[in-house]
Amino acid sequence: MSSKIRVRFAPSPTGYLHVGGARSALFNYLFARKHNGTFILRIEDTDQNRFVEGALKEIYDSLRWLGLQWDEGPEVGGNYGPYIQSLRLDLYAKYAQQLIDQGHAYRCFCTPERLAAVRTEQEKAKSPVGYDKHCRNLSDEQVKANLDAGMPFVIRFKIPAGRSVVFTDKIRGKIEYNSDILDDLVLIKSDGFPTYHMAHVVDDHLMEISHVMRGDEWIASTPRHILMFEAFGWQPPEYAHLPVILAPDGGKLSKRKGAASVMDYKRAGFLPEALFNFLALLGWSPGDDREKMSLEETINAFSLEQISPKASVFDEKKLEWMNGLYLAERSDESLFDVIAPDLIDKGWISPNGNKADPYTHSVIGMLKVRSKRVTDLVESMAYFYRDPEKFEEKAARKYFTADAVQILDSIKEKLLTISDFSNHTLEQAFKEISESKGIQSGKLIHPTRLAVSGISFGPGLFELLAILGKDTVLRRIDTARNVISKGTSI
């Protein structure tokens, strides 16, 4: 193990990066940054049958979108590469042969049919299920004969008997296993590819990994890994097994219950800094009541000691709340860059338009504080770029009453006299109408809002009117007036 902090995130391209994997990557990243260490990305692609086309690129894109830029790894390089396991097969074969030569591993020629039969018998007898060590003590002559006959084989690790394997998990404390409950795990599969157990032990040593932070489903495998390090004569890294993430109902995360990919959350309108902040607090606490934390604050506060071994709950409502906070504080210019592709797709702005368009920036600035997601923001902008196609039905029945035509006529008459179409001037104009006509302000505001936006809710009316502009407001009031007077709808 290295005296310097070197940690790795090692996803498999068997699927896209989900929130559990992203949380693991994030904790490794924070630990490296806190201790001026190195954050390494290693791709564990030894399960070729489960390889998903496009998954590798999405893993890279997801990490970069979250701000988790790796210091060593694919597309970056480093002194310990290659960082893709399928490019390191000769290394694994070399070290597997070393274990065989030293008596710590052996070739197993058992067929899948035999292994299945053994398992069935063990289950019937209600005995522990595992490999029965049938090939563990084959003679050299038997092994040679099988090899000469072209029999396929795997390479298994010899778990030593009667050993107490003890390690101190940085999160859970002392953990102890008896080696007699561990079966002889496969190191190299019949296709020549290593298993996770073999590849990660070799790579963690050669890449001088100091700390391994991974999901708690790997706790039961850790004693095997420690015995492998011992067989090689290598010092194992420190281990920290992260708590499981549960759905709000206490069940396992699923696609329906929050286990979406990172890019799914991007597409659903979440900002990277919000998802980063939210994931950091899944199982870890800064030790106080802070929830919204900057990257710098999170790095400074992060420690393995503050990670709880208890399961954490993925609460998407809380993520939405946190996203709303970050959305509100983002600059209008920054949000424009985020949503511009959507606005262009909808035909609301030109692809060749002015990036510093003051109108769009004003709309963003007004609506972002009322939005929980970027998608909410975009949807709420519709009536700023096109006249309402219809009026909210329930609101129309309530506010487009028999006297609404006269009310809208009075408002239009007053607005025609205004040259300074600003918040303050508009507010004063509505106040004067209310006083001169003896009409409550609500009876002026609600039909006007519905007329210009098509909906009954939104930002402050006077700010809304000021941004829409005089010509648009007057045109939409005329349209609404005609709809009311004809008793039709649009």
- Same domain for 65 and 127, yes or no, is no
> Which residues of the chain, if any, have pLDDT below 70?
1-2, 254-259, 488-490
Instruction: Determine, yes or no, domain membership for 367.
Output: no
Query: pLDDT per residue over 136-150, tens digit each?
Result: 999 999 999 999 999
| Tokens 């190191």 -> residue | 187
Q: Where in the sequence is the domain holding 172, given as residue range(s)?
A: 88-208
Last residue of a domain, one of 274, 306, 329: 329
- Same domain for 423 and 447, yes or no, is yes
- Same domain for 122 and 166, yes or no, is yes
Last residue of a domain, one of 208, 235, 265: 208
Query: What DSSP line would sit under 378-409, residue for residue?
Result: HHHTGGGTS--SS--HHHHHHHS-TTHHHHHH
Helix (H, G, I), strand (E, B), or coil: what is residue 243?
coil
- Same domain for 43 and 100, yes or no, is no
Instruction: Determine, yes or no, domain membership for 232.
Output: no
Query: pLDDT per residue over 156-186, tens digit each?
Result: 999 999 999 999 999 999 999 999 999 999 9
Residue 291 has what pLDDT?
Answer: 95
Instruction: Determine, yes or no, domain membership for 355.
Output: no
- Same domain for 107 and 30, yes or no, is no
Is there a contact between 104 and 157 (Cβ–Cβ < 8 Å)? Answer: yes
Is there a contact between 92 and 194 (Cβ–Cβ < 8 Å)? Answer: yes
* CA–CA gap between residue 37 and residue 31 (Å, rounded): 8
- Same domain for 6 and 58, yes or no, is yes
b (16+ CB within 10 A) / e for 239-267 = bbbbbbbbbeeeeebeeeebbbbbebbbe
Residue 433 has what pLDDT?
Answer: 96
Query: Residue 467 sits in a domain of what CATH number?
Result: 1.10.10.350
Query: pLDDT per residue over 367-424, tens digit each?
Result: 999 999 999 999 999 999 999 989 999 999 999 998 999 999 999 999 999 999 999 9
Residue 335 has what pLDDT?
Answer: 96
- Same domain for 153 and 255, yes or no, is no
Q: Which tokens hold the place of 460?
A: 């402050």
Q: Which residues carry out catalysis?
A: 255
Last residue of a domain, one of 282, 303, 329: 329
* CA–CA gap between residue 320 and residue 277 (Å, rounded): 12
Instruction: Determine, yes or no, domain membership for 215.
Output: no
- Same domain for 102 and 192, yes or no, is yes
Counting the structural domains of the chain, the total is: 3
- Same domain for 60 and 112, yes or no, is no
- Same domain for 93 and 198, yes or no, is yes
Residue 1 has what pLDDT?
Answer: 45
- Same domain for 130 and 178, yes or no, is yes
Residue 357 has what pLDDT?
Answer: 84
- Same domain for 35 and 100, yes or no, is no
